[in-house]
Structure 1
């Protein structure tokens, strides 16, 4: 698959409102500009971004913050994504309309004492190559920048006929690149093509494709901390001999599955389990921060005696809230779950099977949510069925489609799963 780029212009600023030219000069977003950015964020909320790049200008930073709110996406500021220097026109309401039209029409501001056409072309090509060097195939990439820079990308990267494009905009009565407007293009083996010409958020239609993806969730094998009954969230401990055997059993149970990709927690116990489970598979492994176990804060590594057990249950009963222990709460974990599910949906095709290798509490929170109960309710639900809610090396199944994630099978220990 190809890289997919979403280029978003900043929202309206006070200079935009007063018709003052704004290249390297800057002004903050107006209330309308904030609303425009929020509308674009809402329209793009169903799209997954692997990474984001932005101009360092304040108006772009404001816009990028709105677009990436509640997303765990790395944002890199690149100087070469800045708007051109408009020279003597900077910050002014230009009276010399001929000069302004010549400069903007040719993307050449040298005659106004600013950035020349060739300089802009080289800078645009350079920054695009820099973005390509920092990304990989299949990535979904957000770029937040400026109006003239969008024109530069269309002219020098997409190789569009800008005179024809401008005339089409005039004929259709629309602006070249609206504030908070969205441009979409893709790159595939060096070829760049237009997907969506610049438009306002209200005119962008991005329906989710209807597809179903099977998720096989494996909990890591037993660790030294599991054996010793120590709290183990973000803390880590090596697999025991039994833990390795459990992972081997999971591998046997899943050996005939064809996984398009594996998503694995950062924790070494999860990575080691995944390597065993995937023995004999030629499957790409993606190490995922969002699949880490819940952060239990200052309870991490503690021996689960009567007092610690009581405290753990109190936190579980309080909607998985470990904030008083400098850990996470339920909302943070659900946000991480949602982020990884969005990524899986957009990275895989209809009918694909994917492997998750993660942790007990992360699994329990998702299943409890799907069963409309809580962690303790899940334990009681499973106990009534003569099973535990989670097993080291255990396997559960989910299905993911455009409507969300659905539970197919509760976690079973690997031996039971193998013989079914």
Structure 2
């Protein structure tokens, strides 16, 4: 077996749009006080993990989250955060910053399920994303192909840099980005649940395949 590499995918901390239950894709907004505290608790739990490289999306909430985690890490003095637009959240077009419940009701009108709950439980991720683009009055929201094409560019860059190095890599991104990405990469991850803020999902990559080690973990959090 090759050396491979290991990725720690971390979702950013809670933001004000999370708190207000509003759609948050490419919108830039800061972490709440609770969001910062949870990230620091997550960082303390990761303090002894020696990261060889750190990446984030280029949105402020992930860059802020990555910075807090590095502040708590015992071996991060020489590390810098590489911001990559490829790892942004899904773009929701004109639905950005609108109420979550209202937006999903609009998407469900396109899908035609009896309830939004049925939509979530029965429609695939590609179907949901394609319906979001159709429901957006401007049709600017990303569909699945647009999202995956963007994410794949970032993944190829990471694998090109870290494959067979044995490196441990921190990637701070977004709830849908990480969930949809891992759903597409890891065969055993079926219908993954939404990710908690500041949670960790650990994936190893070797012999050309991604292997899930943990998903949506918060039990490593430590008290401040």
TM range (shorter): 0.7 to 0.9
Unpaired runs of 5+ in structure 2? 109-115
The answer for the alignment partner of 2:96 in structure 1 is 90
Q: CA deviation at 1:119?
A: 1.5
TM-score normalised by the chain length of structure 2: 0.79
Match of 1:118 among 145, 153, 159: 145
Contact 1:120 1:152 in 2 (8 A): no
Report the number of matched residues: 193
Q: 2 CA distance for matches of 1:51 and 1:153?
A: 20
The answer for the alignment partner of 1:177 in structure 2 is 195
Contact 1:8 1:145 in 2 (8 A): yes
Q: CA deviation at 1:42?
A: 0.4
Q: 2 CA distance for matches of 1:157 and 1:105?
A: 15
Match of 1:62 among 61, 64, 70: 64
Q: 1 CA distance for matches of 2:183 and 2:94?
A: 24
The answer for the alignment partner of 2:176 in structure 1 is 148
Distance 1:90 1:118, change over 3 A: same
The answer for the alignment partner of 1:3 in structure 2 is 5
Contact 1:177 1:198 in 2 (8 A): yes
Q: CA deviation at 1:125?
A: 2.0
Q: CA deviation at 1:185?
A: 0.5
Q: CA deviation at 1:97?
A: 3.1
Distance 1:159 1:86, change over 3 A: farther
* SS of aligned partner of 1:32: helix
Match of 2:38 among 33, 36, 39: 36
* SS of aligned partner of 1:40: helix
Q: Where do 4+ consecutive residues of structure 1 move more than 6 Å?
A: none
Which has the larger displacement, 130-139 or 179-188?
130-139
The answer for the alignment partner of 1:159 in structure 2 is 187
* SS of aligned partner of 2:23: coil
The answer for the alignment partner of 2:81 in structure 1 is 75
Q: 1 CA distance for matches of 2:13 and 2:176?
A: 14
Contact 1:125 1:157 in 2 (8 A): no
Deviations along 1:284-303, one digit per CA (max 9) or x if unpaired, are: xxxxxxxxxxxxxxxxxxxx
The answer for the alignment partner of 2:156 in structure 1 is 129
* SS of aligned partner of 1:92: coil
Deviations along 1:366-410, one digit per CA (max 9) or x if unpaired, are: xxxxxxxxxxxxxxxxxxxxxxxxxxxxxxxxxxxxxxxxxxxxx
Where relative contact order (Cα < 8 A, 6+ residues apart) is larger, the structure is 2
The answer for the alignment partner of 1:291 in structure 2 is none
Contact 2:28 2:59 in 1 (8 A): yes
Q: CA deviation at 1:61?
A: 1.0
Contact 2:30 2:61 in 1 (8 A): yes
Unpaired runs of 5+ in structure 1? 167-175, 206-420
Q: 1 CA distance for matches of 2:186 and 2:154?
A: 14
The answer for the alignment partner of 1:23 in structure 2 is 25
Contact 1:124 1:156 in 2 (8 A): no
CA RMSD between the two structures: 2.0
TM-score normalised by the chain length of structure 1: 0.44
Contact 1:20 1:91 in 2 (8 A): yes
Contact 1:27 1:59 in 2 (8 A): yes
Q: 1 CA distance for matches of 2:95 and 2:38?
A: 26
Contact 1:53 1:143 in 2 (8 A): yes
Which has the larger displacement, 180-189 or 92-101?
92-101
Q: 1 CA distance for matches of 2:187 and 2:31?
A: 31
* SS of aligned partner of 1:11: coil
Deviations along 1:154-213, one digit per CA (max 9) or x if unpaired, are: 1222234543x34xxxxxxxxx2000111000000211110001122xx139xxxxxxxx
